[in-house]
Structure 1
């Protein structure tokens, strides 16, 4: 597992301390994937309701508040495959 994935798991854990009442996967291009669900946050590549794909730079920006997830999606920096409802719930958590 890459150090970027390790840092991403840590960053997401801080944002969703109580878990997430859905299932989502973040794919960080060229690095790996992170699963977020009711059990918490972990590196993994299981099937989820929604998959969000972004570069490491875009993901880091979303975690530190410099990149708005909705704007990243609108500008093509964030790709969403699956449930838009789950993606919207996740966007509200990420800010």
Structure 2
């Protein structure tokens, strides 16, 4: 299990109220989908990128870990292009608030 996968799995309990599905596009490190639309959030690999999600967050693995550790401000990261969001910005903000 990679460090990022482990960190995302540890964050799942905090995402129970998200009410949406989010893809993390980590570039060469793959894609992960957090499905928090049901009662218990789940994490899965998205090998082909064809799952229907509310938003996709494009970020490097290193920056995702920094974001989760509170070492990367989400607004600054977005402004500097370290975090790119496509889809629902509202869902992305709720997600960052829960994992950051």
TM normalised by structure 1 equals 0.79
- Spell out, residue by residue over 1:40-65, the C-alpha distance to the aligned partner (whole angstroms, 9 max, x if none): 13123222010001111100101111
Which stretch shifts more, 33-42 or 57-66?
A: 33-42
Between the aligned partners of 1:19 and 1:6, the Cα distance in structure 2 is 20
Check conservation: 1:19, 1:41, Cα contact below 8 A. Answer: no
RMSD (CA atoms): 2.0
Return the structure number with greater strand share.
1
Unaligned runs of 5+ in 1: none
Correspondences of 1:1-95 after superposition (within 5 Å): 3-13=2-12, 16=14, 18=16, 20-36=18-34, 37-38=36-37, 39-45=40-46, 46-95=51-100
Structure 1 pair 4–31 and aligned structure 2 pair: CA distance change class (3 A): farther
Unaligned runs of 5+ in 2: none
Aligned residue pairs, count: 93
